[in-house]
Structure 1
């Protein structure tokens, strides 16, 4: 099929399927954490290194991937990323020790890092500019369906067929998506052009420095930091053990609650996007509201005497579901406070914020769980989980102070006329 005749909807649908698969691979460890601890005979802190390795690679690769994308295009990066994630799941399926398991999660993180930004580039080339904001939000929201596949179906398969068949199936799903990419996706709707040369190192450094010097970029980074980590860590690793070991849920019920979290994300994503589009000057108010609501519900859960009632845990996953769409506000700041030539650099900087916070929290929860669990006890107690999740309040305090600081700095720069924002009154 000629690229020029290829329907844009088909190209986008397959690229979006690649992102759904990436989210599936990314979150597949979260619902299998208890089984992973048993399989590899590790404690909570060691189990945390699996997710930390995956997220650290993802965060570290954001800016390099942007440079590679400019040179090689979306199709090559989506194919490479998909192949790396398949390899990671294959290795995870047969891994029998910790080094092999960590290497598997590194491969998943590396492939995942190439996916989302590549899909956004597909959107930019295949659709008119006026449709880009909606499609970007749609990509981030629909992509969370991958977490649904990584919850109930994967848990059911794991408990029915065992570890290796479950992750071999995950790899087969990823391989199917790679084949679809190979057949259906092209970089542009026109005849393929020779890839542009990558920017030289001096240009890359200058664009990064200019993006970092813009307070709006740092406002985006700290927005991403403060809104993303709690929901991400709950979904990626510690939510499932907390519900099963701490709150006494069955594995199926816990997976169902994580699925509910994803469904709510799908619903509230467009709502957050609409609020930010209608009230750009008050985007930081939305950020503070999401942060306060998340911290407030967590405080109620952790302070509840004994196990929390089911209605309160449902409220927790609902408010955590808003974290993902809330973190997208950080990318909106990058867009509105930076010229087009450095959007990639600014977006890469912003995307690091939430994942660094997630890495810190994953490690901290693992360490505190080990310290607070009585010696000789196999599973952490509810009390241990309470102390571990209380670490979040330090991160929320830091993030909220920084958001307030850089919001004020961005508004001063706007008032001085030293920046032209894409929308009026953009903080």
Structure 2
């Protein structure tokens, strides 16, 4: 039976992750205000988020190694402290360098949070609970995005830039206090890992994690289905909906709320699917990627502005990509031993954020090029420029899906050598129908 202490540890962990998501996504709400405050172009505004994500992605593997060495408590508390300092810097920044420094600190602190929280789950909970709890962790953390869309945006528009970012800094300080007071790395009586290891041993751990095809399958799964929602929520969704689609701020807030609600609803369903059909995880990832491409194609190819129902459908599909990307961490968990889980999770987490920063930067560059050449007719964030700029996502979706297919073959060959054969999908579906029919007859 799971102890009450384990649930408390989990609650503190997801609060820290909620704060991290709030800090991460807050800049997606202030894109227009930041353009005016820093007198910045579209590419410069995208650079804020690109650099933040670059720092995040670059630190994932080092953080994975460090969390395996020092534990989750130290890493989560240190990450919250860095995010608080970053938001404090942003609160008073009036130039691009000052704002960039703030986002770098936020990115560094954010990088230390999620995989540290995920690492706690197999330590405190039974293996059968971990897939669902992984989804619930990601789902709960997404409430932080809801905070950035609603309360933070309200504070920004009513009280101004500085009070809004000081509020975010205060949230980070609260997370530091709760983690230091309540969170523990291991249950009482369970031996802690060695506090340090040599550089060679660290390199061996990293090499073994990377050479495991299941780790790379997790990385490409995360790469393919996570980035489009991140691009939408962190940077370009708000300007696209306001300036290109002509929606008012209230409607955009409602769509962003729908995004979070859809991710929350999809999380438990995804967790149950992974637990019941572990041999069909990559198929689910590919279906989500196909759905993402179809939803963007419908919005970008439609003449004129899209109806609200179609934009809502796009938001729902993008939101599903968040829980879908958690499948990547389940690959890391099932194909790696516990002592290198943090390292493997760090490798997986690099994928989606590299794809995100590439997409965010390219979209900003394309928008600026179209504006400079006169194609956008003076509208930097007009509908036609956004149609072209947002289409760069199709390249990343296609490349990621291809990498999944290649890596999946290697994983299945490895599984076959171990005596585990993945049946064709039609055979699996027929078997599932027979099982369901038998259960109905028994009832």
The answer to whether the superposition gives a TM-score over 0.5 is yes
Do the aligned residues in 2 keep the contact of 1:152 with 1:252 (CA within 8 Å)? no
Matched positions, count: 419
What is the alpha-carbon root mean square deviation over aligned residues? 2.1
Supply the distance in 1 between the matched residues of 2:286 and 2:192 (Cα, whole angstroms).
45
Supply the distance in 2 between the matched residues of 1:213 and 1:290 (Cα, whole angstroms).
26
User: 1:276: how far off?
Assistant: 2.0
User: 1:215: how far off?
Assistant: 2.1
- Secondary structure of the 1:322 match is helix
Do the aligned residues in 2 keep the contact of 1:370 with 1:380 (CA within 8 Å)? no
The 10-residue stretch of structure 1 (270-279 or 242-251) with the greater mean CA deviation from structure 2: 270-279
Do the aligned residues in 2 keep the contact of 1:137 with 1:269 (CA within 8 Å)? yes
User: 1:380: how far off?
Assistant: 1.8
Match of residue 433 from structure 2: none
The 10-residue stretch of structure 1 (106-115 or 5-14) with the greater mean CA deviation from structure 2: 5-14
Q: Is 1:410 aligned to residue 411 of structure 2? A: yes
Supply the distance in 2 between the matched residues of 1:337 and 1:43 (Cα, whole angstroms).
44
Match of residue 98 from structure 2: 100
Match of residue 391 from structure 1: 392
The 10-residue stretch of structure 1 (79-88 or 60-69) with the greater mean CA deviation from structure 2: 60-69
User: 1:100: how far off?
Assistant: 0.8
Match of residue 315 from structure 1: 313
Alpha carbons of 1:336 and 1:71: their partners in 2 closer, same or farther (altered >3 Å)?
closer
Supply the distance in 1 between the matched residues of 2:341 and 2:12 (Cα, whole angstroms).
25
Do the aligned residues in 2 keep the contact of 1:365 with 1:391 (CA within 8 Å)? yes
User: 1:426: how far off?
Assistant: 10
User: 1:133: how far off?
Assistant: 2.7
**CA distances 1:177-212 after superposition (whole Å, capped 9, x unpaired):** 222223222223327978733222212222222222
- Secondary structure of the 1:7 match is helix
The 10-residue stretch of structure 1 (114-123 or 164-173) with the greater mean CA deviation from structure 2: 114-123
Match of residue 184 from structure 1: 182
Do the aligned residues in 2 keep the contact of 1:75 with 1:187 (CA within 8 Å)? yes
Q: Is 1:88 aligned to residue 86 of structure 2? A: yes
Do the aligned residues in 2 keep the contact of 1:247 with 1:307 (CA within 8 Å)? yes
Supply the distance in 1 between the matched residues of 2:338 and 2:268 (Cα, whole angstroms).
24
The 10-residue stretch of structure 1 (122-131 or 387-396) with the greater mean CA deviation from structure 2: 122-131
Do the aligned residues in 1 keep the contact of 2:332 with 2:348 (CA within 8 Å)? yes
Supply the distance in 1 between the matched residues of 2:237 and 2:136 (Cα, whole angstroms).
25
Match of residue 239 from structure 1: 237
- Secondary structure of the 1:307 match is coil
Alpha carbons of 1:276 and 1:148: their partners in 2 closer, same or farther (altered >3 Å)?
same
Do the aligned residues in 1 keep the contact of 2:214 with 2:411 (CA within 8 Å)? yes
The 10-residue stretch of structure 1 (17-26 or 276-285) with the greater mean CA deviation from structure 2: 276-285
**Normalized against structure 2, the TM-score is what?**
0.90
Q: Is 1:380 aligned to residue 344 of structure 2? A: no
User: 1:80: how far off?
Assistant: 1.1
Alignment of 1:26-425 (within 5 A): 26-190=24-188, 196-373=194-371, 375=374, 377=378, 379-417=380-418, 425=422
Alpha carbons of 1:10 and 1:284: their partners in 2 closer, same or farther (altered >3 Å)?
closer
Match of residue 20 from structure 2: 22
Alpha carbons of 1:71 and 1:215: their partners in 2 closer, same or farther (altered >3 Å)?
closer
Alpha carbons of 1:22 and 1:266: their partners in 2 closer, same or farther (altered >3 Å)?
same
Supply the distance in 2 between the matched residues of 1:123 and 1:193 (Cα, whole angstroms).
16
Alpha carbons of 1:276 and 1:187: their partners in 2 closer, same or farther (altered >3 Å)?
closer
Match of residue 439 from structure 2: none
Supply the distance in 2 between the matched residues of 1:125 and 1:277 (Cα, whole angstroms).
18
Supply the distance in 2 between the matched residues of 1:304 and 1:250 (Cα, whole angstroms).
20
- For structure 1, list consecutive stretches of 5 or more residues without a partner in the other structure: none
- For structure 2, list consecutive stretches of 5 or more residues without a partner in the other structure: 425-443
Supply the distance in 2 between the matched residues of 1:381 and 1:146 (Cα, whole angstroms).
29
User: 1:166: how far off?
Assistant: 0.9
